[in-house]
Structure 1
Amino acid sequence: MSAAYPLSSCIEWQFADAGDLDARLRAARAAGFELAEFHLWRDKPVDALATALAETGMRLTSLCVDPRRSIVDPGERDEMVDAVRETIAATAVLGKPNLIVASGFRVEGMSEEEHFANAVAALRAAADLAEEAGVMLLLEPLNTRLFATMYLVSTTLGLDLVEAVDSPNLRLLYDVWHSAVMGEDMAQVLAGRMHLVAHVQVADMPDRNEPGTGNVDWDQVRQTLRDLGYAGAIGLEYFPTMPMDQSLAQSRRMLAD
């Protein structure tokens, strides 16, 4: 049995026993990974990571724009665009990974139309920078369990924003766990729009652990991705509940053809 898609280890939460992030990257390579991802970069050993990437031949699939700033609050727009600019420059040494953007929180008293228009304006400015640098931005919908007033908690809305911005350098990050928390039907929200999705992350429900530890139907997830034509990697963004060798064996089994 082989994995249906290339798998990317979230070294933010995995291989923690190895130590610093560059050591976790090497541990992931020793475990058979060619892809890895993590979250914010400003507190990370970027130069050491660059060395580890070069020595292992691994590739980063994604990391987060840092600092996180709102795309819907016009008072934070300049800071948000600056954060994208700085992240592009600082992480070029890491091979120009995809850069994840979250929406920020709803602004009290602002209409839905204003939220949407502000988000489009901020994302369009950020996408201009990404196009110039040859970098992909990933817009990620989250969920209201973790962030009660987060603006973007809907896959459909996220895809609407990507379509409205209309940039080849802005796509959606579809997270199975966030989507499941929000009660979405995966096949329904992605139907006809998978070409706008550039990365998929997975974790089981309800506690964001390994595939196979909860109630997600992983056969259905794989089938849906195949049916809709997804051709990218799958990020294992979960909290391990068992030793990493066992955790990864189970994840690979759940995600295998």
Structure 2
Amino acid sequence: MQVSPKLSPCVEWIFAEEHPAMPDRIRAARAAGYDTVEFHLWRDKDVDAIAESLAETGVKLTGIVVEPRRSIVDPAQHGEFLQAVRESLVTAKTLGSPPLVVASGFTREGVSQQEHVAAAIDALKQAAALAEEAGILLVLEPLNDRVEHPGMFLVSTKLALDIIEAVDSPNLRLLYDVYHSVVMGEDMADVLNGRVHLVAHVQLADTPGRHEPGTGTIDWPATLKALDELGYTGAYGLEYKPTAPALESLERTRATLEG
């Protein structure tokens, strides 16, 4: 069976109940018809076994996270951040060179917005140079600070795009997470208008709850139509916490997204 190549289950959560080991989640996703998946952290996993499962199944990764996670808005952490990028680039090469996800880190008390942004641009220019040399994409992800990530600095899609434009590297793009954006009260058409060419990946989850599309309040057919009209042509990461067994959850999700 083959499903839309645009849907990429996040196997950090999907198939986790059925298969404790990440390589088996990848095999299960392939058996369900998916040829792309993504997950979050890599340091707590058997990278060689994951690489073997990817080679065995032909599945490609649409993203993993730069870790250990360090702040790009705190110059005191830039050295550790860049070392994390270097090490994550090596791991990415082992896993088929997927994009690497970067978040901002937390707001520094008593520090201006301008200083935060300047620090982020400085760190990301150096990280993007490393990524260019490795031939791997970095994707900057704004999160929400209202539910999951209190204190996070980068919660604005517009600001993230401003930073990406300032860095001006082909190896730095945006990861747009519909869930985080909706939680922050953003209007998707407004924040992405004219700059969707900077969006490398889109992730989906419903709100409230961060569960599969169809469990909350987001109008998914309208959302996907709007993204299509804006010009987005990439994959959709299914980065949600399932409320049902994986296969049932994925089937519900597909039915919801297809309207």
Q: Sort the TM-score into its range (normalised by shorter chain).
A: over 0.9
How far did 1:4 drift?
7.0
Coordinate RMSD, CA, aligned: 1.3
2:148 pairs with 1:118: no
CA gap of 1:205–1:77, structure 2 versus 1, over 3 A, is same
- Contact 2:66 2:84 survives alignment (8 Å): yes
Which residue number in structure 1 is paired with residue 183 of structure 2? 181
Find the residue that maps to 1:113 and give its secondary structure: helix
Rounded to whole Å, the distance in 1 between the matches of 2:26 and 2:162 is 35
Amino acid in structure 2 at the alignment position of 1:121: D
1:40-189 map, 5 Å: 40-144=41-145, 145-189=147-191
How far did 1:7 drift?
0.5
CA gap of 1:82–1:52, structure 2 versus 1, over 3 A, is same
- Contact 2:3 2:33 survives alignment (8 Å): no
Rounded to whole Å, the distance in 2 between the matches of 1:4 and 1:198 is 18
2:4 pairs with 1:12: no
Find the residue that maps to 1:18 and give its secondary structure: coil
- Contact 1:3 1:252 survives alignment (8 Å): no
Rounded to whole Å, the distance in 1 between the matches of 2:211 and 2:162 is 29
TM-score for the superposition, normalised by structure 2: 0.96
- Contact 1:3 1:256 survives alignment (8 Å): no
Rounded to whole Å, the distance in 1 between the matches of 2:231 and 2:130 is 28
- Contact 2:102 2:141 survives alignment (8 Å): yes
Which residue number in structure 2 is paired with residue 245 of structure 1? 247
Rounded to whole Å, the distance in 1 between the matches of 2:257 and 2:73 is 36
Amino acid in structure 2 at the alignment position of 1:12: E
Amino acid in structure 2 at the alignment position of 1:130: A
Find the residue that maps to 2:174 and give its secondary structure: strand
Amino acid in structure 2 at the alignment position of 1:191: N
Find the residue that maps to 1:235 and give its secondary structure: strand
Identity of aligned residues (%): 59
Q: Deviation digits for residues 55-83 of structure 1, max 9, x if unmatched? A: 00000010000100000000000110110
Q: Which has the higher contact order (CA 8 A, sep 6+)?
A: 1
Q: Deviation digits for residues 33-53 of structure 1, max 9, x if unmatched? A: 100100111011100000000
Find the residue that maps to 1:109 and give its secondary structure: coil
Rounded to whole Å, the distance in 2 between the matches of 1:62 and 1:240 is 19
Rounded to whole Å, the distance in 1 between the matches of 2:180 and 2:197 is 20
Find the residue that maps to 2:203 and give its secondary structure: strand
- Which shows bigger deviation, 11-20 or 125-134? 11-20
Rounded to whole Å, the distance in 1 between the matches of 2:20 and 2:62 is 21
- Contact 1:4 1:255 survives alignment (8 Å): no
Rounded to whole Å, the distance in 1 between the matches of 2:162 and 2:196 is 12
How far did 1:5 drift?
6.2
- Contact 2:204 2:240 survives alignment (8 Å): yes
Find the residue that maps to 1:114 and give its secondary structure: helix
Rounded to whole Å, the distance in 2 between the matches of 1:115 and 1:5 is 38
- Contact 2:107 2:152 survives alignment (8 Å): yes
How far did 1:104 drift?
0.2
The 4+ residue runs of structure 1 with deviation greater than 3 A are 2-5
1:202-221 map, 5 Å: 202-221=204-223
Which residue number in structure 2 is paired with residue 236 of structure 1? 238
- Contact 1:60 1:97 survives alignment (8 Å): yes
Point out where structure 1 has 5 or more consecutive residues left out of the alignment: none
Amino acid in structure 2 at the alignment position of 1:94: L
